[in-house]
Structure 1
Amino acid sequence: MEVIALLLATVFIFLSGLHLYWVLFGIKDPTQVLPTNEDGKLLMGPGKIGTLLVGLFLAFFASVYLNKVLEFFSFDGLTYISFGIGFLFLARTIGDFKYVGFFKSVKSTNFAFMDTRYYSPLSLMVTVLIFVLEIWG
């Protein structure tokens, strides 16, 4: 189970680093990483602070799973936090039924293509790994 925890930590460290990179250097093509409507208009503009907060949350998620291997702090509620992260990513995988997730109805945008091919499968993989780790670990 340590391998799963390390894999999750690695994914979260990578995603956190990507968000911090975007804070410092910007996003080259926002239509590939942020949902857009059919006209190509961005549906959200998180800005630098929002992107930084997401990066920090992802770094916190990484610390939760690194702690399962390194045990650098002891906290009884860590399993509940981990399940919460799992449910958060399950919600991301399912999506909003319009622009995000496997069940989206708008499928003709750059983001929809990237979401179907990369983001939603990654989110599903993270969800499954978290639940496997917490239920059978």
Structure 2
Amino acid sequence: MGVIALLLAIVFIFLSGLHLYWVLFGIKDPTRVLPTNEDGQLLMRPGKAGTFLVGLFLALFASIYLNKVLEFFNFEGLTHISLGIGALFLVRTIGDFRYVGFFKTVKNTNFAGMDSKFYSPLTLVIAALIFVLEFWG
């Protein structure tokens, strides 16, 4: 199960780095990474602080799964925190039933295409790996 934990840590480190890159250098085409309505208008504008905060949380998630391999701190509640992270990613996979997730109804935007091909499948794999790690690990 150490391989799953290490894989999760690597994915979270990559995603954290990507968000920190966006903080420093911006996003070339925000309509591909942020939900838009049918008219192409962004539904959210997280700004640098919001993007940095997401990157920080992703780095924290990476440390939780890296800890399962390297065991640099011991805390009894880490399993519950990990299951919470898995639940968070499962909820993201399901989405809001309009613009985000597998059950979205708006499917003709740049973001919707990227979400269907990459983002929602990735969040589903992350959630599944977390649950496998915690329930059978």
Do these two structures clear the TM 0.5 threshold for a shared fold by scoring above it? yes
Is 2:79 the partner of 1:79?
Answer: yes
- Partner AA of 1:6 in structure 2: L
Alpha-carbon distance in 2 for matches of 1:44, 1:69: 36
Structure 1 stretches of at least 4 aligned residues deviating more than 4 Å after TM superposition = none
Count of residue pairs brought into register by the alignment? 137
Q: How does 1:1-137 map to 2 (within 5 A)?
A: 1-137=1-137
Q: Tell me by how many angstroms 1:11 deviates.
A: 0.3
Alpha-carbon distance in 2 for matches of 1:100, 1:56: 22
CA RMSD of aligned residues (A): 0.2
- Partner AA of 1:51 in structure 2: T
Q: Tell me by how many angstroms 1:133 deviates.
A: 0.1
- Partner AA of 2:53 in structure 1: L
- Structure 1 residue runs without a partner (length 5+): none
Deviations 1:39-80 (A, max 9, x none): 000000000000000000000000000000000000000000
Deviations 1:92-131 (A, max 9, x none): 0000000000000000000000000000000000000000
Alignment TM-score, normalising by the size of structure 1: 1.00
- Structure 2 residue runs without a partner (length 5+): none
Alpha-carbon distance in 1 for matches of 2:39, 2:62: 36
- Partner AA of 1:46 in structure 2: P
Q: Tell me by how many angstroms 1:82 deviates.
A: 0.1
Alignment TM-score, normalising by the size of structure 2: 1.00
